[in-house]
Structures are given as C-alpha cells and as structure tokens.
Amino acid sequence: MPEIFEIEGGQKLSGEIEVNGAKNSALKILAASLLSDEKCKITNFPFIEDTKRIMEIMEELGVRVEKNEELKEVEIDPSGIKGTSLTGELVRKLRASILLAGPLLARFGEVEIDHPGGCVIGKRPIDFFVDGFKKLGASCEENDQSVKIVSGNNGLVGEEIIFPKISVTGTESLMMTAVLAKGKTILKNCAMEPEIPVLVEYLNKCGAKISGAGTSTIIIDGVGKISGGEFEVIPDRIETGTFLMMGLVTDSEITIKKCIPEHLGSVLEILKGAGAKFEIGTDYIRTISGSKLEATSIATHEYPGFATDLQPPYTLLMTQAKGMCMVHETIFDGRLFFVDQLSTMGANIVICDPHRVIVIGPAKLFGKKLSSPDLRAGITMLIAGMIAEGKTIIENIYQIDRGYEKIEERLAKIGAKIKRVRN
Ligand code: EPU
C-alpha cells in the first residue's frame, strides 16, 4: 500500500537536529568496495532507500552485506561475487546503479548494465561513462535495453580523458575504474564536489595512487590490486542546506548539528546576501528568527557554486522573500517543473523556459494535495506544507525516503507535525 505524508502547516520549529551521513558519499563507497576482494566497513552510514536498494543489487551479485542500522554501520564482503550482470527492474529504477559498472569492469573485465532511470531527473544519459570506458580500451555493445562492456585483451589501459561537461558520478566512476588499469590515467574537467576527495582518501589508504582530487585534474597511477578498509561517511551537505532553508522559511530557531558548513560552498554567502540570519560554527549552523529576506537571483553551478540539489528548497524560500528574482537551473532539465505544484499552493512563480523561473514574493501558501516527482522537489514540498495554512498531503513519498532517513520522526522532534499514513 502506498504511503503518504500529511502535514499540518503553521508550526514554529525549535531545538536541535543532526545531519546524517551523505547519500552521495555512501553510494560511492559502496561502489568502491567492489574494487577489492577484501572487506570494507562503512560507519555513519545513512539507511535510506537509495543505499538500501544499491546494497540489494550488490547482494544479487554475490556480495555479502552485514547491516547494523542502530550503529549506522555496514560491512561489505565482496569476495564472493559470482556475476557482473547489472540487469533487472531494480537497476533500471535507480540511476545510481551505474556507479557499480566501473568497479566491476575494472575488477572482472566485463559488465552488462541495463539503462538506468529512476525519477524525473534520473533518466539522463550515460555517454560519459561509456565513452570513458572505451577510452580505457574497453569495447561496448549497446542496444535499447542495456550496454555490455568488455575490457580489451590487454585489460584496461590508462589514457587522458577530458569530460565534455562536468559530471560528479562520471568523474568518480572513471577514477575508480582507472585505479586497476595499467599505467597512468589523466582525467580533466573533473567535478570537485567534497565527496570526491574523501573517496580518494579511502582508495589511497587501500593502496590506490590518485592525486589531484578536489581540483579539475585528477591523475591515477594504476595499481594491480587494492585492499579493503574503513570509511566514515561525511555529513550530508544537501541535508544540511535543506534544514538551513527549512529553519529560515519557517522563521524558526533551530541548530543543525554534525555538519560541515564549508561544504555548502557559495550557498551560505548567497543566503547571507539575501538577508538570512544564521550563525555558523565549525560543525553546526543555527538559524535565527526575524530574517528580512530580499528576493535574490541564483544560477545553479557545479561545486563550489550553488548546488542544484539545493535549488528546490531555495526556490521555496524565495516565495517568502520580498521582491522578484530569477532561479536558473543550469544542471538538470526538468528540475524546475515541481514549481507548478508550489503555484497551486499560492506561490507566485512564472516558468520562463525549462531552465528558468521568476519567483515573486512574499506569497501566502495554502495546504494542497501534491505528488513528489523527485527527491529534492519532494522534501521541498514537505517544507512548503510546513509553512502553508491547513493540511498538505504528499504522495509518492518513496522519492523523499530515497534520501532522507525517517524524516517525519526527526522533524517531529523539532516541532513539525507530519504523519506517515498508509493510503
Ligand atoms: N550527463 C550527461 N552524460 C552522462 C552523465 C551526465 O550528459 O553520461 C549530464 C547530466 O544529464 C547533467 C550533467 O551531465 O546535465 C551533470 O550531471 P552529473 O553527471 O554531474 O550528475 P550525477 O553525477 O548523475 C550527482 C548526484 C546528483 C547531483 C548531481 C549534480 C550522485 C549519486 N548524484 O549526479 O544528486 O544532483 O551530481 O551535483 O552523486 C540528488 O542527490 O538528488 C541528486 C540528483
């Protein structure tokens, strides 16, 4: 039976909320664990739908996974992998399944993967991955349903690869694949998101030779084998930014604990410039009520620019700011269409084209029945429900559970009124 969220709007929040381990770091470590035949222990692990589903796919391959939700730990034992076929509904449903392809190809010389999809923004191309594998010497056979990639007679061989466009998982995938290739691989126009240097730190501890992570050029000297190891997942910078905007838009005083504020890149500066009041510590951010928000235009950008994953809650925040501004989504097609649903609640938003909207505020919002098209739009609708008058219902909440663990329980502790209901 599908579940929905029912939100009673108008509550002020107060107290402390802890940030969980980052989804987009945990997923990469799970993939990296396949490069070795030794165990990998992961701590501060987020038990969310995306990580659970990827672990299911890994178990189908023969990986042993021991989970301890209470301790937030998992132990991966990849020694018993018996196949490299990433096919089936689960793979197709989850964009992140593409992350497993590179490490499997590197270790076993072949992999077959169904075209991954997922939510409205999940169905994006995988050409950077396939082209990169080919550059490393693999051959690819592609049909409508899947791609089969096989490394050449000499195995994978290092090369120079320039990404046509900055890609986070593209950078991580080719970097992981090159760890076991022969010779030197030079990746240029790489993503610089904080999840990449910590992944490299782990891989280097296990015996890989990678330099330059966190810059746009990454150099990998191939090694024949790497060991297992232990990794602590870094705090989720997107959860941090989402909670920050939630505190601001509800005009509440909340302390967001166990976070790394500097990982928010330019977001903090933009919020300050817009008149948001908050205090930043080394590992916390505290929102202060009484902000006088002024409409402030943004364009999303690769790290350290304004994260596309924080564009939806920022767009909501701007519905409550004074004046008119433009939100320009430069990374994903289709990531702004959720604003239609904010408009049904009373927000004043004009869609200019698939990548740009004009937001005019402040506007009073009213509770409505909504449906979550993707993870970040979903959490934004939940927050919109918190500031709306009356009751908001959100359907398709799997899209929220994909990235936010037990969100209604955690938000209830700071005063939100959200019920998970079986429909
Ligand atoms: N792209 C291609 N071809 C490819 C790969 C990407 O054209 O082969 C395009 C995409 O369509 C997009 C652009 O390149 O226009 C950049 O996408 P990128 O590859 O950087 O996205 P990603 O690596 O698939 C990760 C995060 C996303 C986050 C983006 C941007 C993970 C698992 N996912 O995706 O997270 O939005 O980087 O920062 O790390 C989320 O958590 O909600 C989420 C969508």
pLDDT tens track for 96-142: 999 999 999 999 999 999 988 766 656 678 999 999 999 999 999 98
Q: Count Cβ atoms within 10 A of the Cβ of residue 165 and give its class: 0-12 exposed, 13-18 middle, 19 or more buried.
A: exposed
Tokens of 346: 């009373």
Residue whose Cα lies nearest atom 17 of ligand 1: it is 167
Cα 396 from Cα 132, distance rounded (Å): 35
List the chain domain ranges.
3-15+268-276+291-422, 23-232
**Residue 40: Cβ within 10 Å count:** 23
- pLDDT at position 191 is 98
Q: Are the C-beta atoms of residues 157 and 182 closer than 8 Å to each other?
A: yes
Cα 259 from Cα 20, distance rounded (Å): 8
- pLDDT at position 125 is 85
- Helix ranges (H only) for 87-189 are 89-93, 101-108, 127-135, 168-179
Positive or negative, the CA dihedral 340, 346, 352, 356 is: negative
Q: What distance in angstroms lies between residue 305's CA and the mean position of ligand 1's atoms?
A: 15
Binding site membership of 128 for ligand 1 (Cβ less than 6 Å)? yes
- pLDDT at position 119 is 66
- pLDDT at position 123 is 65
Residues in the chain predicted with pLDDT less than 50, given as ranges, are: none
Binding site membership of 332 for ligand 1 (Cβ less than 6 Å)? yes
Residue whose Cα lies nearest atom 11 of ligand 1: it is 124
Binding site membership of 169 for ligand 1 (Cβ less than 6 Å)? yes
Topology of the domain comprising 23-232: UDP-n-acetylglucosamine1-carboxyvinyl-transferase; Chain (3.65.10)
Element (H, E) at 124: none
For domain 3-15+268-276+291-422, is the CATH number 3.40.50.2000? Answer: no
Q: Is 232 helix (H, G, I), strand (E, B) or coil?
A: strand
- pLDDT at position 328 is 98
- The reply to whether 23-232 shares the fold of 3-15+268-276+291-422 is yes
Residue whose Cα lies nearest atom 40 of ligand 1: it is 309
Binding site membership of 170 for ligand 1 (Cβ less than 6 Å)? yes
Cα 417 from Cα 423, distance rounded (Å): 18
- pLDDT at position 142 is 87
Tokens of 19: 């940030």
Q: What distance in angstroms lies between residue 125's CA and the mean position of ligand 1's atoms?
A: 10
Q: Which residues are annotated as catalytic?
A: 119
